[in-house]
């Protein structure tokens, strides 16, 4: 999968939905491709009392359900189409689930990216 395709997939998920006064979802969509070339996606959940989680976490959970853990490339995109870097919590989760993920290519823009180990240099 090409980086632009992964970005487009993540962007297609960023369709905000407000199921209750205390919860909004899908302001950010994430997509990742594993070393096995499988795709997994997720959306963020934001709650009034900080009980939600990032779109990257949701995509990682889907991947783990399939008993995979080695991420080749990932992207997160907000509702405005902006490619976002993963937060520190997401970076650390990605690294902790599989040491090989230090070499995950993280998309930071349409023509930009970085290796996870560059984003967490002093882990």
- Please report the pLDDT score of residue 123 as a whole number: 67
pLDDT per residue as tens digits for the range 15-36:
999 999 999 999 999 999 999 9
CA distance 25 to 23: 7
- CA–CA gap between residue 41 and residue 48 (Å, rounded): 24
Structural domains present in the chain:
3-119 (3.40.140.10)
Q: What's the confidence (pLDDT) of residue 121?
A: 77
Percentage of the chain exceeding pLDDT 70? 99
Does pTM surpass 0.75? yes
**pLDDT at site 30:** 98
* pLDDT value, residue 63: 98
Task: Mark the ranges of the chain whose per-residue pLDDT is less than 70.
Answer: 123
User: What integer pLDDT is reported at residue 12 of this predicted model?
Assistant: 98
Biggest alpha carbon–alpha carbon distance for the chain: 40
The whole-angstrom separation of Cα 72 and Cα 78 is 21
């Amino acid at each position: 999968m090409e980086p632009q395709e992964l970005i487009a997939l993540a962007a297609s998920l960023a369709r905000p939905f407000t199921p209750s006064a205390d919860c909004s979802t899908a302001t950010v969509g994430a997509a990742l491709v594993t070393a096995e070339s499988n795709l997994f996606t997720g959306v963020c959940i934001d709650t009034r009392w900080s009980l939600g989680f990032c779109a990257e976490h949701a995509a990682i959970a889907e991947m783990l359900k399939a008993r995979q853990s080695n991420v080749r490339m990932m992207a997160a995109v907000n509702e405005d189409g902006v490619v976002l870097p993963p937060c520190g919590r997401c970076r650390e989760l990605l690294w902790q689930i599989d040491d090989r993920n230090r070499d995950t290519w993280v998309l930071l823009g349409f023509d930009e990216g970085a290796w996870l180990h560059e984003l967490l240099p002093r882990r």
